[in-house]
Amino acid sequence: MNGLIFLIPVALLLGLTGLVAFMWSLRNGQFDDPDGAAMRILIEDQDKPAS
Amino acid sequence: MTYVARRPDWSADAVETRLAVPDMHCAGCISKIERLLPLQPGVHAARVNFSAKTVIVSHAADLAEPDLLRAFDAIGFEAQPLHSAAAHERSQALRKLIRALAVAAFAAMNVMLLSVSVWSGADGSARKLFHWISALIAIPAVAYAGQPFFRSAFKALRAGSTNMDVPISIGVILATSMSLYETIIGGRHAWFDGALMLLTFLLAGRVLDEMMRARAASGAEALVRRTAPGAMRLAEDGASQWVAADALAVGDRVLVAAGERLAADGVIEQGSSRFDLSLLTGESAPVTLRAGDRATAGTLNLDGPVTLRVTAVGEGRAIAEIARLMESAGQAKSRYVRLADKCSRLYAPVVHLLAAITFAAWIIAGASWHQSLLVAIAVLIITCPCALGLAVPVAQVVVCGAMMRAGLLVKDGSALERLAQADQALFDKTGTLTLGRPRAFGVEALDEEERSIARALAMTSRHPLAVALRQALGGEHVGPAVLTDVEDIPGEGVRALWHGQAVAMGKPAPQDLSDQAGASNDPTMAVALELGNGRRHIIHFADALRPDAARALADLCALGLPPAIMSGDREEAVQLLAGQLGVPAEGGMRPANKLARLQALAEAGHKPLMVGDGLNDGPALAAAHVSMAPGSASDVGQQAADIVFLGDSLSGIPKSVRASRATMRIVRQNIGLAIGYNALAVPLAIAGYVTPLIAAVAMSSSSLIVVANSLRLRWAVK
């Protein structure tokens, strides 16, 4: 029982983190162009480090 | 590295335009567009969206749409203008659904974890704790993620009808509140997991359905209106001023420059020019109009400036009549009931009745109202249509993705259902069977020097024949020659000097054409090139057949859709083409004739597929059982059509027919699977044997089977 009190919040928190991360990436347009994202890794010297 | 669609700091005067670029097919294309397009004059930056096959271009505000298309042309891509507002709205709706799905899926996973512990024997205070945690997660999640269903169900109930969302909402709300009650009294079972899983699967179906619509919208539905936005109005004192189309009044005098579309109907007062009427009538050859002739809105002035006295504006224009025909024809089609709706119409009352009978039967059999209600909820939940809700959208989304990769944009799911039923194919001629743009013949006779002069001359003019000539010469790696003293004579052609020699491109004289035996002697479809030193060439143009036209028609015949041609062009031109292809044809048809023909066919019980592109095909496209238009079609044609095929080839038409039939096969299998599952599970539920575990397993496995079956359609577009 003691373990549960500790583990259940941890499990929920981890799940919630995933949910928040998903919502964030959705809002930032990460899912706008899934096919393009797969292609872009093949392009050389195009993406520069974000400054 | 950044993969985010980050917007660079574009200057304040920059305007963003979205364009469809169907030819992109690899990483090289992406990098080519994003690197080379900003090098074009006036273009600041470009960002490719590969999934939607669109490019967002940021450019200077004074760069007009044709210039933008030319910039794409210069780097070797063909772009088509898009209007993005509607697509944007759609993607907002989609995002809301995805968010609801994410919440439902998160909650379902966590509650399921806790439920599994309960099923495997957690008891006493542990069970009570687990149920309370489940309630804490599930109630807000249901309240948030269930909204799309609750709203739609509420709307339907208020209108006095039911839809598939009514049993879903009742089931979810009843199950959640019953579970809360069980939790409070410390009962054995809670149904939070069932309610959440139901929402998750149904939302997945909704997301897929919406995704398909959004995809189609981004590609086809919202292509820009290409009728002229305004005109140059001449005041009494001779001054001219640009006014918007709806500010024009009857009696105004307007100046129409070469290469401009008419914004209103009118009578020509001054000047004469050739007009391209193909958008309106399907006539492929330009028609010469002189002072006193009537000209209609939407036609294109090809040669020289003319002055027009406006006789009709707005709703009075001939073009508006076509729009009215189209609207009334389209209304009849919108009554088509989709297969999924047909199912749900039968489904909702049956499920409610079943649950009510179960409840009553258990009460009569002497069970407590509490137990009877639990069983009734089990029936509602287990019959809830998650497999049924997925059956149609999953199949359609999978096939639409496959079709999209093949350059076929489907507007909505019912188009596939209707296409699968089609038993006849009717084709427009100009722009549909043919490319609708002239192609040059005889360019091979020019030597390299002549080619470069010809290319330079062609680049000075916006005339369609000059554009065609430029395209024919563009493939050769010959740069344009340097010309001086370029002079553009409206209605005649272009004159210039090249190294001191007079060169010209223009209308051929009648004797030029009669010399050449066998060649077409239509003076409107040829140009004469004078290339210095007395070198003269006549280049002929013709509206060429689309590639694969004959094969596509033969394929359609084999698929049980005998083709026929229905064109507004001259009878002789139509019969010539019909003879080549070996199909029956009729020419000289007005939009109303085409419409009447389709209505007659529908009354005779036929389900015709109409393929057309022009404004004149609009009503026919809207009236046909199902319709297709090429990507090069007028915006009206694309709006009216159910499926738009990109690229020049016609082979997309038989491909679409085959894919739609495969889809309907899979959809029927899916519905069969879903009903079969219900037939197995319902008796168990009515008998009261369904534990939450069985319900959960049965529900998810039936949904997964339906999804797996639909994935077979990925390879259906052949």
- HEC assignment per residue over B236-274: CCCCEEEEEHHHCCCCCEEEECCCCECCCEEEEEECCEE
Over pLDDT 70: what percentage of chain B? 83
B13 catalytic? Reply is no
| Tokens describing residue B673 | 């699977």
Mean pLDDT of all residues belonging to chain B: 78
Task: Count CA atoms closer than 13 A to B206's CA, side-chain side.
Answer: 26
Those residues of chain A whose CB sits closer than 8 Å to some CB in chain B are 1, 4, 8, 11-12, 15-16, 18-19, 22-23, 26, 28-37, 39-40, 42-43, 46-47, 49-50
Mean pLDDT of B446-465: 76
Tokens 């939407």 sit at which residue?
B298
Tokens 């015709």 sit at which residue?
B608
pLDDT for B75 beyond 90? no
Question: Measured at the alpha carbon of residue B267, what is the angle toward residues B460 and B428, in degrees to the nearest 5?
Answer: 70
The pLDDT value given to residue B634: 66
| Tokens describing residue B434 | 């043919």
With beta carbons less than 8 A apart as the criterion, state whether B179 and B190 touch.
Answer: yes
Contacts of A47 in chain B (CB under 8 A): 1-3
Contacts of A40 in chain B (CB under 8 A): 3, 27, 30
Q: Which of B62-66, B264-268, B286-290 has the largest mean confidence? A: B264-268
Tokens 């069932």 sit at which residue?
B194
Handedness of CA B253, B259, B265, B266 (dihedral sign): positive
Strand, helix or coil for residue B312: strand
Catalytic residue among B428, B543, B555, B569: B428
| Tokens describing residue B704 | 């997964």
Nearest residue of chain B to residue A48 (CA atoms) = B1
Residue A15 to residue B2, Cβ atoms within 8 A: no
Q: Which of A8-12, B14-18, B86-90, B379-383 has the largest mean confidence? A: A8-12
With beta carbons less than 8 A apart as the criterion, state whether B52 and B218 touch.
Answer: yes
Helix (H) or strand (E) holding B139: helix B124-145
The pLDDT value given to residue B660: 92
Better-scored residue on pLDDT, B696 or A32:
A32
Tell me the C-alpha distance between B708 and B135, whole Å.
32
Mean pLDDT of B433-445: 76
Burial of B420 (0-12, 13-18, 19+ CB in 10 A): buried
Neighbouring CB atoms inside 10 A of B586's CB total: 17
Strand, helix or coil for residue B547: coil
Backbone angles phi, psi at B644, to 5 degrees: -115, 130
Tell me the C-alpha distance between B705 and B669, whole Å.
11
Contacts of B34 in chain A (CB under 8 A): 46
With beta carbons less than 8 A apart as the criterion, state whether B494 and B463 touch.
Answer: no
pLDDT for B103 beyond 90? yes
Helix (H) or strand (E) holding B498: strand B493-498
pLDDT digits (tens, 9 = 90+) for B524-581: 677 888 777 777 788 877 777 887 888 888 888 898 888 888 888 888 878 888 888 8
Mean pLDDT of B604-631: 84
Look up the ipTM and state it.
0.79
Tell me the C-alpha distance between B370 and B375, whole Å.
9
Write the single-letter amino acid at B180: L
Those residues of chain B whose CB sits closer than 8 Å to some CB in chain A are 1-6, 26-27, 30-31, 34-35, 48-52, 95, 98-99, 102-103, 106, 109-110, 113-114, 125-126, 129, 133, 137
With beta carbons less than 8 A apart as the criterion, state whether B33 and B47 touch.
Answer: no
Write the single-letter amino acid at B444: E
pLDDT for B24 beyond 50? yes
Task: Count CA atoms closer than 13 A to B278's CA, side-chain side.
Answer: 22
> Where residue B619 falls among pLDDT bands split at 50, 70, 90?
confident
Strand partners, B628: B611, B643
Question: Nearest CA of chain A to the CA of B57: how many Å?
Answer: 16
Helix (H) or strand (E) holding B46: strand B43-49
Mean pLDDT of B463-484: 72
pLDDT for B334 beyond 70? no
With beta carbons less than 8 A apart as the criterion, state whether B19 and B52 touch.
Answer: no
Nearest by CB to residue B27, choosing from A19, A26, A42, is A42
- The candidate with the shortest Cα–Cα distance to B611, out of B554, B551, B653, B550, is B653
- Dump the DSSP string for B172-190: HHHHHHHHHHHHHHT-S--
Tokens 């000047």 sit at which residue?
B271
Tokens 């969206």 sit at which residue?
B49
Tokens 């679409």 sit at which residue?
B656
| Tokens describing residue B548 | 């694969």
The pLDDT value given to residue B159: 86
Strand, helix or coil for residue B321: helix
- The candidate with the shortest Cα–Cα distance to B443, out of B475, B482, B479, B469, is B469
> Where residue B87 falls among pLDDT bands split at 50, 70, 90?
low
Name the least confident of B73-87, B133-147, B587-601.
B73-87
The pLDDT value given to residue B32: 85
| Tokens describing residue B235 | 């005041």
Strand, helix or coil for residue B290: coil
